[in-house]
Amino acid sequence: MMHPAYLLFGIFFVLMFAGVPIAASLGLAGSIVIAIEGLGIMAIPTNVYAGIAKYPLLAIPMFVLAGAIFDRSGVAARLLRFTTAIVGTGRGSLAVITILVAMIIGGISGSGPACTAAVGGVMLVAMMRAGYPPAFAASVTAAAGSTDILIPPSVAFIIYSVLVPSATVPALFAAGIVPGVLACVALIIPALLLSLYHNLGASQRREPRPKLWKSFKEAFWALMAPVVILGGMRTGWFTPTEAAVMAVFYGLLVGVCIYRTLTLRDLYQLLVDSAETSAVILIVVGLASIFAWASSTLGIVDPITRWIVTVGGGEAGVLAIMMLFLIIVGMFLDGISIYLIFAPLFVPVAQTFQWDLVWFGVLMTYNVALGQFTPPMAVNLMVSCRLTGASMESTVRWVIWLLLSMFLGLLLLMAFPPLTLWLPKALGFM
């Protein structure tokens, strides 16, 4: 009889490549194997409920709603003026500004595709008007949006913390800041060099530079959002889940009372859109819990862990294999599915070598960020290509340089764990 591991993963990949949604593929694969192996059909509803009945997951719909509120409040346009006042105008300036705006919005929304859409809605039109090729604009915006899951608050970190309770949400949020900034710098360098080499954005030199103080005052309330979220957790005023609720109230205060860009009709639509997005995420989590329970109950995890350790031949080899594997998988799967499927397989390997699980979680997230703009199934690129009308194929000549540069950032984080861990230790989260 076929080994349960081959059956479980085989059914999942067959369903996925047949076009079945990932959530349904995970749930069906787990359910079929549970039925075949006689593990008890009641395990299915029990694990769906157990998968989503976790207190930290309450933060997800709140952070999704907070991101939507700030997006609709016109935050991106104000951040554009502020960063333009700092960076200036000229060749490559809009590419750099796009990455900086995405990094700041990453401290509000927590979702790569959402950040790409929010930034792209403002920046892509400006870039193409300034003479940037649509494919280049789409590549830079998609890459910039990928850093969103590294900058707190991050939905990806919340999911990882649920799967690995020893890696707390505050520690992961703090640990993601330096890698997030490093990823942004790694993207700015090739984006600027490509712009200078191809003389992109030269026509923008004639445009006036916004006044720094005025643009700072306009963007101040948006810039304070990450400070409120992280500062409140550091001082102990609220937990990560409560911080998500505070982010919503802060966003409403800014959008309704300060910027006055939100109406009651807008709020209703925001609640509907956020509920739909949150439901999709939690459906994936619930159905993936069936898959995860089946794999652990059937004893699939331990043999795979031993095999990875044996094949790698040592710490460096094992880490390199896992990182390369995650980049490849990231081309086809979304970040949440990657965590739910592979964290139970890879975390025991990390524990075998006594790696810090916060550092390992950040490395996993960095790989997911790379996968979000790596063709052929790059979710961020799909969003930005749809906004610009560029084809996925036309972005390859530009996106390859962004990927290579960001990959060098990954190598730095792998070689020097203190780059990731010093901030959460300094803030007292570890």
> What per-residue confidence (pLDDT) applies to 242?
84
Please tell me the distance from the alpha carbon of residue 285 to that of residue 229, in angstroms, as a whole number: 25
Per-residue pLDDT of the chain (430 residues; tens, 9 = 90+): 567 777 888 898 899 888 888 888 889 999 999 998 888 888 899 989 888 888 888 888 888 888 788 778 877 778 878 888 888 777 888 889 889 888 887 666 556 677 777 777 778 888 888 888 999 999 999 999 888 888 887 888 888 998 888 898 889 988 999 999 999 999 999 999 999 998 887 776 666 777 888 888 888 888 887 788 777 877 778 887 888 888 888 888 888 888 888 888 888 888 998 888 888 888 888 888 888 888 878 877 777 777 887 877 788 888 988 888 888 887 777 777 788 888 888 888 898 889 999 999 999 999 988 888 887 777 788 888 888 888 888 888 999 999 999 999 999 999 999 999 999 999 888 7
> What per-residue confidence (pLDDT) applies to 283?
87
pTM of the model: 0.85
For residue 266, give the nearest of 71, 38, 25 by alpha carbon: 71
The domain ranges of the chain are 58-426
For residue 156, give the nearest of 114, 94, 123, 185 by alpha carbon: 114
> What per-residue confidence (pLDDT) applies to 7?
86
Please tell me the distance from the alpha carbon of residue 335 to that of residue 409, in angstroms, as a whole number: 19
Amino acid at residue number 234: R
> What per-residue confidence (pLDDT) applies to 108?
64
Please tell me the distance from the alpha carbon of residue 242 to that of residue 86, in angstroms, as a whole number: 34
Cβ contacts of 391 within 8 Å, gap of 6 or more: 135, 385
Cβ contacts of 195 within 8 Å, gap of 6 or more: 91, 92, 95, 132, 201
CB 395 within 8 A of CB 385: yes
Torsion of CA 151, 156, 162, 168, to 10 degrees: -10
The CA-CA-CA angle for residues 50, 54, 57, to 5°, reads 125
CA-derived radius of gyration, the chain? 22
Residue by residue, what is the 3-state secondary structure of the chain?
CCCHHHHHHHHHHHHHHCCCCHHHHHHHHHHHHHHHCCCCCCHHHHHHHHHHCCHHHHHHHHHHHHHHHHHHCCHHHHHHHHHHHHHCCCCCHHHHHHHHHHHHHHCCCCCHHHHHHHHHHHHHHHHHHCCCCHHHHHHHHHHHHHHHHCCCCCHHHHHHHHHCCCCCHHHHHHHCHHHHHHHHHHHHHHHHHHHHHCCCCHHHHHCCCCCHHHHHHHHHHHHHHHHHHHHHHHHCCCCHHHHHHHHHHHHHHHHHHHCCCCCHHHHHHHHHHHHHHHHHHHHHHHHHHHHHHHHHHCCCHHHHHHHHHHHHCCHHHHHHHHHHHHHHHHCCCCHHHHHHHHHHHHHHHHHHCCCCHHHHHHHHHHHHHHHCCCCCCCHHHHHHHHHHCCCCHHHHHHHHHHHHHHHHHHHHHHHCCHHHHHHHHHCCCC
Please tell me the distance from the alpha carbon of residue 29 to that of residue 290, in angstroms, as a whole number: 9
